Structure 1
Amino acid sequence: MNLISKQPGSHAYKKATVERPDIPNVLDREFNITSPNKVWCGDITYVWAEGRWHYLAAVIDLCARRVVGWAFSSTPDADLVIKALEMAYEQRGRQNVLFHSD
C-alpha cells in the first residue's frame, strides 16, 4: 500500500513566566463544583488541518463537565474566545458565572 505518515512540526506557545498579582485567582484550583452554570473554564488548543495550524477554544461547565461553547479559527486571538463564550451564553443563557482560564 505504500502508506506514508507525516507529522507536522511542533507548535510552541509562549510560557507565562510571571504571575499576574493584579488578576486574582478566584477559583484557586477548586474544580469540584456542585451546581451547574456557576463556574466555566476555558482553554485553547491547536489542530493541524489542511496544511496549517487551526485553533479550538472550548468553554466547559465544571459541574456538568461538558462543553457548553466552542469556536474554531485560524488565529488564537481574543475573538476566538469571545465566540466560544457567546455560544455558551446562547446554550445556557447569560448567567452570573465565573469564567476561569489560564
Structure 2
Amino acid sequence: DQGRQYTSHKFRNELMTHRINQSMSRKGQCWDNAPMERFFGSLKSEWMPEGGYSSEQEARADLQQYVMRYNNTRLHSYNDYRSPVAMEKLAA
C-alpha cells in the first residue's frame, strides 16, 4: 500500500528512528505483496484469539506455533492441497 500515510515524511522518519525498514510493493503491482497478505489474513482469521494475547511472550510462542503449522502441516489449495514445505520438496 503506497497510501499517503505510509509515504509521509513524518511516518518514514518515525520508522528510521526505530531502525525499521519499510517495505512497499511497486506502484501499480498489487500482487507483489499477495503472499504476505494471505498469510496474515489466515493468521488473523484462523488462529489469533479474539481477545488478543495477555503478554508479548504468549503472543510470540503462539505465533511461532502458527508459523510451524502454516509451513509444515496446513494444506494450501494453491499447492494442490500440500503444505509449503511439501511443495518445496517436490520442486527440489
Normalized per residue, the structure richer in strand is 1
Structures share fold, TM-score greater than 0.5: no
TM-score, normalised with respect to structure 1: 0.31
Higher relative contact order (CA 8 A, sep 6+): 1
